[in-house]
Structure 1
């Protein structure tokens, strides 16, 4: 019989994970994949001769709701969380569903659960950030509650590990591909995002049994996921459903713990 997974095991796995999610989210937030912020800066610097046309360009670009634009600044918490879940969540759900091409065979491996848990944990950190919750311990407790139905003691979640250097090294290793991508290309590529997501998922292998508790779609999503090739579609829809569920659970948890958070 396998040894029972204790809260301390969950915390040990989640602390480096949460710390690595911060640069991952920064990369997704600051990457400006469509060049919208750059174009707006060029327009505002006068690179368009016609002032009327310049104003139209600036207005069109800044009305797009992506981080760093005026439209983003005017969004409330729910709208920003929705952006993370619906825009970034589509990418992470797609990456998570790829193992579903193998149908039932792929489901026998922990690949999808590790990728799915990594995606959901990443989005939970993004949601926590929009609520003003930035400390590692609180995010660990949020993920443990929403994904694993565990109520982790705040002291245990927020306490310094016995080997701080080991945790520092583990967190840095999880984001190596992001660092290399920025160095080589000046931006974060989709390949680097996918590779980092895989590393994040792999870091949770020590608590594999817990990963099965996460929201993974309804029964018909899972049934479709057992079919080779088209299983990817079922897995994608299941992951999208799961992300919406974690958003609801996260909101409930964050509001229930609002006595220490920086929002009302």
Structure 2
């Protein structure tokens, strides 16, 4: 009979997981995109200026309207947006980044049968999103984030003292290495943005896989995570269209994780 997985075991895994999410969230927020664009500055730098009498002001106003409607972290007014709108942005951003990667496990052959790859990658995806949602609500306390992930992903009510641990990141890393039989690679910095170059799929999968490997020692808990609907699983078992079913299932599961996470934070009095 397998030994029961304790809250202490889960907490140390999640502390390492949460710490490694921070640089990725920064990368996903930025991704080489401009923080703010002023249409007047664009016109001033062109062959016509904003004060040019031949310029149709309605065009300038339309450009301003379009630019103003594009909201993303770092832009003016982002923090004033309703929390639901900010969460929706993250669901879309993280979903595009991770759901496809988590759904390709059907191509893994024998490894897909031997390891719970989709649950590992899907849990890593949902954990990243939950960290983003917590950050949008101003949560910096690693203990709160660990409790959040423990509740939503594993249906565990981890007490705050256990969740925070002793605050020794190096000891947590060492413990994770032991729990994973030394299989977990040391943390690597997320690649720095390169001007004009977007974050690639290869680098994204490498990071997600490293996060998934952290969760390997608690694989018995991973099936508790929010899942897609039953019909997504049914489609996922079919040849040819199976990957599409898995992808839609992961997208659905990500939204359910976000909903549960937002509800948990609200219940803790975190708005």
Instruction: State the TM-score bracket (shorter-chain normalisation).
Output: 0.7 to 0.9
Q: Does 1:232 align with 2:238?
A: no
Over 3 Å counting, the alpha-carbon distance change for 1:231 and 1:174 in structure 2 is farther
CA positional deviation for 1:40: 4.3
Q: Does 1:176 align with 2:192?
A: no
The count of aligned residue pairs is 256
CA positional deviation for 1:62: 3.4
Residue 81 of structure 2 aligns to a residue whose secondary structure is coil
Larger Rg: 2
Over 3 Å counting, the alpha-carbon distance change for 1:183 and 1:85 in structure 2 is closer
Task: Look up the match of 2:118.
Answer: 112
CA positional deviation for 1:3: 1.2
CA positional deviation for 1:149: 0.3
Structure 1, unmatched stretches of 5+, are none
Residue 204 of structure 1 aligns to a residue whose secondary structure is helix
Task: Look up the match of 1:137.
Answer: 143
CA positional deviation for 1:138: 0.5
What's the C-alpha RMSD, in Å, of the aligned pairs? 3.1
In structure 2, how many angstroms separate the alpha carbons of the residues matched to 1:174 and 1:67? 29
Q: Does 1:3 align with 2:19?
A: no
Task: Look up the match of 1:244.
Answer: 255
Q: Does 1:197 align with 2:202?
A: no
Structure 2, unmatched stretches of 5+, are 51-56, 178-184
Answer whether contact 1:114 1:205 (CA < 8 A) is retained.
yes
In structure 1, how many angstroms separate the alpha carbons of the residues matched to 2:172 and 2:217? 15
Answer whether contact 1:100 1:229 (CA < 8 A) is retained.
no
Q: Does 1:156 align with 2:162?
A: yes
In structure 2, how many angstroms separate the alpha carbons of the residues matched to 1:241 and 1:103? 25
Answer whether contact 2:123 2:222 (CA < 8 A) is retained.
yes
Q: Which residue, 86, 91, 94 being the options, matches 2:100?
A: 94
CA positional deviation for 1:217: 1.2
Q: TM-score, normalised by structure 2?
A: 0.82
Over 3 Å counting, the alpha-carbon distance change for 1:225 and 1:151 in structure 2 is same
